[in-house]
Structure 1
């Protein structure tokens, strides 16, 4: 600004201060969302002579629509608590005595479309501001909000549309929207397609939202969308803007690249990069092309991908094979294992070891079971032999010590009533008391012993003759019933339980000659 311009400006300001006149400052155009509210920012000026009339208690603000006639075009009066049916609901938020006429209208509809004139009344002060004294405001009611604006910044420098950013660079997306009256105020939100996790460093302040992150190959061709939302009484109204990010990055070889072995070796390699990379195959460190031992084919996968396959003869199985992808931002390599992989060998070794271990465990269990079985059988045989020896010893003692002679004295009665002895009829019998039990603790009593000896008349000779063919010894059962009461015998070394049931003893009666 030169000196002349400064002088003109200073003269104008001085004139405004010294000689004030009626003037007003209003926005020329205002957009309002249907169903929300609208704010008219307003500042006015009056002549010096009316300053004394402009008081807080007496000042009233009026708004006229599409004309300056108070009787025909009045739509708002700040002095009325309840507006008339054809008036707008609102209030003056500014202080009129401070010459601030900022006003808000609620429940905006298409009826609010038009040109607005402000009028001030305060005592003797009554004045309507028209085009001659300043601006008038035009309100335009819209049914949908204006969409926000999204801009891309790389390293804090704005990037024009369709320009690409480099991988690992700092990227910022800024969303801004025009402020429209709304209660509650509108909000800005971010989304992406395809969906990816967004950085937590995004912030929202007023109607400007920044989304900051470091660019990677996963962000390439991702569309970021910024949405502005107005929460109205009947429904929400939204608008959105988006931008698609383009990222340049070095080649990336897919982990699924592998080889198959049949009669020949077939390997494939899939690489992705921006710009689209070139792909080469190296055998033993040297590039290879189509030949009698190798066959190479390629297939483009979109604008950034490439898939290549190579077929090798089995004679080349002992060479090293490498896939190499290149573009202007870098090189990526992948080595293929043509021989049986170490991992497979290790896997086979592990499986063999597991199988051997399982067989050894089974054999150990079998041998252990056999040994335990034999040991238990030997123990049972030993117990049986001990029981047999004990029974044999008991029988021998009983035969030696418990054998008693039973004499049956055959006394013949004569007809005279006198008894006469017949020496030939004397029978000798021996009774062996043999117990079925292995051992007895004590015998309390023998209730009855029965010895039945059949007498054969005619003497011993007749009896022997009657038994001649079978045997000279006649065995007759002698039943001995005994109630055996057992008691427990305690010893220092062992403790045994005695037999508590009743035993049947058998006596063998041997017939002897006198």
Structure 2
């Protein structure tokens, strides 16, 4: 309560004590949230001779803009169906007890002004002084966030308090903490001027993990119209004092001539770092070099590089200290045998990876070459060919009778042609399917190139075969190789002859039926 409010209250009490004159008490100013209700705490005093008028019935009127302003609320109008208030509300106080507390609903945004209180009846009409200033805000005020201690030591209990104004007591704000370190309970409380607020207390045990953490208190206000709501929040950053914490990531490595170690520590206040080798503190020198790197306000990383003799494995200790205490970590230095094993293992792993990479590349190139060759035609492959063979083409393949006989010492060359022939005749003569494999063997001489021998094998199946006539019968003398079991021809019109021993080739002659 401000000094002016105390002065007004004291003045009203003195007036009541001395002679119970006209007087009123209420806050000088109130903050309201647009779209929500606002509570106006109010008490008044009148001369005792007018108490009977209060029992007879009296109305409460609130005017915007002072006593000469416009009436926005009349306690009689909620019961009237003819005219309505500009701002709806409810008189919650008991006038017989001199309590004029009022709640105005859905307070408009543009209605910031001074509001005057008036009592009105048939025999009692009075404007009370002073007025109350109501400031309407579109956004709720930020919560007030305070901690019991600004800086706390790790392991101690911490209490954070958050409070938010509740101008509308029927819809108080809901307070939440982020992060939620422990459970909390909201409580609706009253100020000295009888305005309302909600408070929440968060209590937890401080840890070094909380240092620098941002704590936020959020106030959620629900409005009277629909499901709309408005939010405001306030935050603070925790400061936790703790002794040094050495990270377990500290390690050592060695080469043939040096040992290198690193150590990292965090603390608040920021810690310092020392190295101990075989129980003795290490200082910077030509053989032992110490380097330090600060990590923010609370961290420190230190590294030690020192020369050593072959086979020497000293004991190494990392020591970190600040005003709250100290901590240490003993580091393991690899022995020379472990160093050689690690080096060999590393080289082996690298070799395996390189070999796998080369093998994968070779396999990829091989597969690519195979796919490329498979797309090209091969001269050694036999292809299926469908062709019609005429009598004239047959005569071209057969040697004439005037051709000289082949010599025994002549070389023999064979051309292999796979022919698949499928013939279909009409429905009256049936269907014929013939598959013929023809192998031609050609003898050549050094002096001239003539075709002397042909090996022909015909496999045929005919339905409704017509008798041969003198004009179409063609007999072929077949020369077969004893080493082969099949003969072939490319002429489907040559009729097969009875099987005879393959002895020698005779001349080709025509016969009559």
Instruction: Answer yes or no: same fold by TM over 0.5.
Output: yes
Match of 1:184 in 2: 171
What is the rounded CA distance, in whole Å, between the counterparts of 2:15 and 2:303 in structure 1?
86
1:203 to 173, 185, 191: 185
Report the CA distance between 1:338 and its aligned residue.
1.7
Quick check: 1:125 aligned with 2:118? no
1:484-499 to structure 2, matched below 5 A, reads none
RMSD: 2.9
Match of 1:258 in 2: 251
Q: State whether residues 77 and 85 of structure 2, in contact with CA within 8 Å, keep that contact through their aligned partners in structure 1.
A: no
Per the alignment, in what secondary structure is the counterpart of residue 218 of structure 1? helix
Report the CA distance between 1:199 and its aligned residue.
2.5
Name the CA shift for 1:83/1:68 in 2 (closer, same or farther; >3 Å): farther
Q: State whether residues 55 and 122 of structure 1, in contact with CA within 8 Å, keep that contact through their aligned partners in structure 2.
A: no
Q: State whether residues 12 and 25 of structure 2, in contact with CA within 8 Å, keep that contact through their aligned partners in structure 1.
A: no
Q: State whether residues 273 and 304 of structure 1, in contact with CA within 8 Å, keep that contact through their aligned partners in structure 2.
A: yes
What is the rounded CA distance, in whole Å, between the counterparts of 1:144 and 1:92 in structure 2?
26
Quick check: 1:78 aligned with 2:72? no
Q: State whether residues 163 and 200 of structure 2, in contact with CA within 8 Å, keep that contact through their aligned partners in structure 1.
A: yes
Q: State whether residues 251 and 261 of structure 2, in contact with CA within 8 Å, keep that contact through their aligned partners in structure 1.
A: yes
Give CA deviations for 1:257-294 in whole Å, capped at 9, x if unaligned. 11123333321111111221111111111011334543
Structure (1 or 2) with the larger CA radius of gyration = 1
1:152 to 141, 147, 155: 147
Match of 1:473 in 2: none
What is the rounded CA distance, in whole Å, between the counterparts of 1:11 and 1:280 in structure 2?
71
Match of 1:167 in 2: 154
Match of 1:304 in 2: 298
Match of 1:40 in 2: 40
What is the rounded CA distance, in whole Å, between the counterparts of 2:18 and 2:146 in structure 1?
47
Report the CA distance between 1:295 and its aligned residue.
2.8
Give CA deviations for 1:140-169 in whole Å, capped at 9, x if unaligned. 101111112221213xxxx4xxxx322222
What is the rounded CA distance, in whole Å, between the counterparts of 2:21 and 2:216 in structure 1?
50
What is the rounded CA distance, in whole Å, between the counterparts of 1:330 and 1:83 in structure 2?
79
Match of 2:23 in 1: 23
Report the CA distance between 1:11 and its aligned residue.
13
Structure with the higher fraction of residues in helix conformation: 1
Give CA deviations for 1:442-493 in whole Å, capped at 9, x if unaligned. xxxxxxxxxxxxxxxxxxxxxxxxxxxxxxxxxxxxxxxxxxxxxxxxxxxx
Report the CA distance between 1:128 and its aligned residue.
2.1
Give CA deviations for 1:150-208 in whole Å, capped at 9, x if unaligned. 21213xxxx4xxxx32222222111122332154310221114xxxx6023x3332212
Name the CA shift for 1:314/1:61 in 2 (closer, same or farther; >3 Å): same
5+ residue gaps, structure 2: 1-8, 189-197, 340-513
1:221-300 to structure 2, matched below 5 A, reads 221-232=212-223, 233=225, 235-263=228-256, 264-300=258-294
Report the CA distance between 1:55 and its aligned residue.
2.1
1:112-511 to structure 2, matched below 5 A, reads 112-129=111-128, 131=129, 135-154=130-149, 159=150, 164-181=151-168, 183-192=170-179, 198-200=181-183, 202-206=184-188, 207-232=198-223, 233=225, 235-263=228-256, 264-315=258-309, 317-339=312-334
Per the alignment, in what secondary structure is the counterpart of residue 54 of structure 1? helix
Per the alignment, in what secondary structure is the counterpart of residue 322 of structure 1? strand
What is the rounded CA distance, in whole Å, between the counterparts of 1:236 and 1:12 in structure 2?
39
Per the alignment, in what secondary structure is the counterpart of residue 50 of structure 2? helix
Per the alignment, in what secondary structure is the counterpart of residue 96 of structure 2? helix
TM-score (norm 2): 0.57
Per the alignment, in what secondary structure is the counterpart of residue 107 of structure 2? coil
Report the CA distance between 1:85 and its aligned residue.
5.9
Per the alignment, in what secondary structure is the counterpart of residue 50 of structure 1? helix
Per the alignment, in what secondary structure is the counterpart of residue 36 of structure 1? coil
What is the rounded CA distance, in whole Å, between the counterparts of 2:284 and 2:11 in structure 1?
88
Q: State whether residues 59 and 97 of structure 1, in contact with CA within 8 Å, keep that contact through their aligned partners in structure 2.
A: no
What is the rounded CA distance, in whole Å, between the counterparts of 1:150 and 1:52 in structure 2?
49
Q: State whether residues 172 and 221 of structure 2, in contact with CA within 8 Å, keep that contact through their aligned partners in structure 1.
A: yes
What is the rounded CA distance, in whole Å, between the counterparts of 1:180 and 1:293 in structure 2?
73
Per the alignment, in what secondary structure is the counterpart of residue 271 of structure 1? strand
